[in-house]
Amino acid sequence: MESSIQHTAAADALAQQTKLLKRIYRASVLRTIACLLILVLAAGSAFSIVPRFNALLTQLNVVADSLAQADIAYMTQSVTNLAVTGAEGIEQALEQVSGAVDTLNRLDIEALNQSIADLHDIVEPLAKLFRK
């Protein structure tokens, strides 16, 4: 009887090991499938991203070539010359405005008004003469 109990215990242990090995096998199959799916997704993403990255690099090269061809020193000098010319123009305009204001300030308004009144007094009798 002891042999039959040992045989049953050994059979139960063997059945549990078989069951456990089947679980381990299923888990490894699932892991393999998951890894393959991840690999397929990564490869698909790489095939999608690489052309875009290549186009970006091409555009960056075009911009770099354009910047290399640009004469920064000449452009800076041109902007400086433009600023100097603009400042000189503003100075000339201010000088002219200042001259005009000085001329207006030098006018003797009282004498001008008196001259206009005198002219009126002279022209009025002549106007009356020619109206009749």
Sorted by where each begins, the domain ranges of the chain are 1-70, 72-132
More confident residue, 17 or 47: 17
According to the model, what pLDDT value does residue 31 have? 96
According to the model, what pLDDT value does residue 9 have? 82
Q: What single letter denotes the amino acid at residue 96? A: Q
Percent of the chain exceeding pLDDT 90 equals: 23
Give the chain's largest Cα–Cα span: 167
User: Rounded mean pLDDT of 36-41?
Assistant: 94
Give the pLDDT confidence of 87-107 residue by residue, as tens digits.
888 999 899 989 888 887 787
Band (112; pLDDT cuts 50, 70, 90): confident
According to the model, what pLDDT value does residue 27 have? 96
Angle at the Cα of 62 from the Cα atoms of 60 and 65, rounded to 5 degrees: 110
The 3 state secondary structure assigned to the chain is CHHHHHHHHHHHHHHHHHHHHHHHHHHHHHHHHHHHHHHHHHHHHHHHHHHHHHHHHHHHHHHHHHHHHCCHHHHHHHHHHHHHHHHHHHHHHHHHHHHHHHHHHHCCHHHHHHHHHHHHHHHHHHHHHHHC
More confident residue, 103 or 5: 103
Helix H or strand E encompassing 122: helix 109-131
According to the model, what pLDDT value does residue 68 have? 76
According to the model, what pLDDT value does residue 2 have? 63
